[in-house]
Structure 1
Amino acid sequence: MIIITGNLRATLRASGMVLALAAVTACAPMTRFHGFAPDAREIAQLQIGQTSRSDVVSLFGPPTSDGGMRSDTIYYVSSRFERIGPFAPREVDRTVLAVTFDAADRVRNVTRYGLEDGALVTLDRRVTDDGIADVGVLSQLLGSFGRIDAGTLLGANDDPL
């Protein structure tokens, strides 16, 4: 029969509480934020046809992207990721603000997209064949033994002047 004294019982109880607290906090979601997208109050300051590109940049800061090939649009992107315990982070919210400008660099359109507006893009992996068979180094070395001419190796085929 095991007898537990008062000090040991208090230590076990405290250890159990610490383990329970650790288990509860380990399952709490950890949230990370990436990027910046202005909220509706800030977007309301933009006036179609009047606000210039430099005004937008001074109001919201430099954009996340400037449209690449289409220089008439700038983008502000923000994302929120949650991670629970040992699992991989999962994107739970995304906001993309696209500000389009006309030829005079005035705001033409402001569009806001969310995570639900995104589309899955399948990447097509095209690989060009290099023409080299899948032969290892050892196979290449052993395969070259039959093509060596002893006269060429010893220099007997060289013509004297």
Structure 2
Amino acid sequence: MRNKSRASIMAIRAASFGLIFALGACTAKYQNHGYIPPKEDLDQITVGVDTRSSVADKIGTPASAGVLTNSGYYYVRSRKRALGPLANREIEREVLAISFSEAGIVQNIERFGLEDGRVVALERRVTSSAVSNKTFLRQLLGSIGRITPAGFNG
């Protein structure tokens, strides 16, 4: 009888540890990425006065800048949450956009959040191919009827 109670206690402990471990695996994990300068640093920038170099000196250069027209600085910060086996989900995003005039003087400072976001279709530069989702073997077997002896003349 004593062995049965000892075995049941061990089973309860094992089940408890298993439950604790399973619940621990479902704990949300957060990942922060990017940088947005603090408000105190942004207050040092004066629209219409500061230039690209003075902005870089005061708050640092961003990871992203205007790619096509060199028009602005873009600071981006995001936070993602992963919950167990589920895919990461972005729960917070903030973009700080500083635009400059042609002369390189600050024109505007704007903040955007995740709720302001929208999907932007970027230009795709993909070379089109005559191969339409066919495997190598299908392409090889498909060309058997098109081979002629005239193609072997050098």
- The two structures have a TM-score, normalised by structure 2, of 0.76
Identity value in percent: 30
Q: How does 1:110-149 map to 2 (within 5 A)?
A: 110-121=109-120, 128=128, 130=130, 136-144=139-147, 147-148=148-149
**Structure 1 residue ranges without an equivalent (≥5):** 154-161
1:124: Cα distance to partner?
8.5
Letter in 1 for 2:144: L
Partner of 1:83: 82
| 1:80-115 deviation line (CA, Å, top 9, x unaligned) | 110101000011111111011234423221000111
Backbone CA RMSD of aligned residues? 3.2
Aligned counterpart, 1:44: 43
Q: Is there any run of 5+ residues in structure 2 with no aligned partner, and where?
A: none
* SS in structure 1 of the partner of residue 87 of structure 2: coil
Is 2:97–2:110's contact at 8 Å kept on the other side of the alignment? yes
Report the AA paired with residue 4 of structure 1. Answer: K
Distance in 2 of aligned mates of 1:78 and 1:17:
40
Matches of 2:47 and 2:95, distance apart in 1 = 18
Pair member with larger Rg? 1
Cα pair distance change 1:99/1:130, threshold 3 Å: same
Counterpart residue number, 1:157: none
Q: How many residues are aligned here?
A: 147
User: In the alignment, is the contact (CA less than 8 A) between 2:81 and 2:91 conserved in 1?
Assistant: yes
TM-superposed CA distance for 1:11, in Å, is 2.6
1:17 aligns with 2:20: no
Q: Secondary structure at the match of 1:136?
A: helix
Tell me the TM-score normalised to structure 1 length: 0.73
Deviations 1:48-67 (A, max 9, x none): 12322222223332212111
